[in-house]
């Protein structure tokens, strides 16, 4: 077969449902990174110093750098990246519209929690994919110190003003709730993605119990992240 890859991923792409699901997945990740880029640049305006602003803008730029590689892969799979992103624009735009930070600390928590949640979710799904797609997705989740930067600043802010922790803990719960709401909308509307999770003839899938365990793991990691900065989840 002319289109099979050395790693055998050409074989799985002969299944049109699989190809469609991977294009969907790369589309949602690409639009997610594009939106994260815009939202981080916006939130960087809340930075107390130009130095902090530059650090957040650097994280934003890194997210944007991933978009081009995801688009290239979507084109290799024979689809248009902008068409692939389109079905996810509404849910992701709504997530950001509903979670606009009102100050720098909320922006930091959003960068930290939002990026972490997205990365956990995509990593869970990537485990069910061909090696090439999996590697691309894992590489596109590299946050280059975003978490370290956020953790240091959030901890410092809470040390300086312990009253902050109640408000930021609530904010973290709101971010988690909004992310789950939008993820459910996407799952309900995108059959290809749901089918991917359900598996195929040659691919193991997730039954309902396995999906339940996956969400439990994602929630546990969210709680660990909140605890890491001294916030109750």
Residues contributing to the site for its own copies (CB under 8 A):
31, 34, 37-38, 41-42, 44-45, 49-51, 53-54, 57-58, 60-61, 64-65, 67-68, 82, 85-86, 89
Q: Which two tokens stand for residue 78?
A: 């024979």
Q: What's CA 46's distance to the chain center, in Å?
A: 23
Nearer Cβ to its own copies (89/178): 89
Q: Which two tokens stand for residue 209?
A: 């119990």
Q: For residues 178 and 106, what is the distance between their CA atoms, to the nearest angstrom? A: 15
Q: How far is the CB of 152 from its own copies (least distance, A)?
A: 18
What contacts 83, CB < 8 A, 6 or more positions away?
Answer: 27
Nearest alpha carbon to residue 36 among 171, 190, 184, 144: 144
Q: How far is the CB of 79 from its own copies (least distance, A)?
A: 14
SS3 content of the chain, % helix, strand, coil (to 5): 80, 0, 20
Nearer Cβ to its own copies (38/228): 38
Q: How far is the CB of 44 from its own copies (least distance, A)?
A: 7
Nearer Cβ to its own copies (66/222): 66
Nearer Cβ to its own copies (4/61): 61
Left if phi > 0, otherwise alpha if psi is -120 to 50, otherwise beta: which for 199?
A: left
Q: How far is the CB of 212 from its own copies (least distance, A)?
A: 34
Q: For residues 115 and 96, what is the distance between their CA atoms, to the nearest angstrom? A: 12
**Residue 77 backbone phi and psi in degrees, to 5:** -85, 5
Q: How far is the CB of 151 from its own copies (least distance, A)?
A: 22
Nearer Cβ to its own copies (67/193): 67
Q: How far is the CB of 54 from its own copies (least distance, A)?
A: 7
Nearer Cβ to its own copies (24/130): 24
Q: Are 199 and 206 in contact (CB under 8 A)?
A: yes
């Amino acid at each position: 077969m002319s289109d099979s890859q050395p790693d055998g991923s050409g074989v799985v792409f002969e299944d049109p449902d699989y190809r469609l699901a991977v294009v969907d997945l790369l589309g949602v990740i690409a639009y997610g990174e594009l939106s994260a880029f815009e939202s981080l640049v916006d939130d960087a305006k809340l930075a107390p110093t130009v130095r902090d602003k530059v650090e957040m803008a650097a994280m934003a730029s890194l997210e944007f750098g991933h978009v081009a590689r995801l688009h290239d892969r979507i084109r290799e799979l024979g689809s248009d990246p902008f068409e692939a992103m389109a079905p996810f624009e509404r849910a992701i735009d709504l997530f950001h519209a509903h979670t606009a930070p009102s100050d720098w600390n909320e922006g930091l928590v959003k960068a930290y929690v939002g990026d972490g949640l997205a990365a956990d979710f995509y990593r869970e799904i990537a485990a069910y994919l061909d090696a090439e797609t999996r590697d691309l997705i894992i590489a596109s989740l590299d946050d280059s110190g975003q978490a370290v930067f956020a953790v240091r600043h959030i901890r410092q802010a809470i040390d300086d003003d312990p009253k902050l922790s109640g408000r930021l803990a609530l904010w973290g719960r709101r971010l988690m709730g909004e992310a789950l709401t939008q993820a459910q909308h996407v799952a309900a509307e995108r059959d290809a993605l749901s089918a991917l999770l359900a598996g195929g003839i040659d691919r193991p899938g997730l039954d309902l119990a396995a999906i339940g365990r996956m969400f439990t793991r994602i929630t546990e990691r969210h709680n660990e992240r909140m605890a890491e900065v001294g916030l109750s989840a």
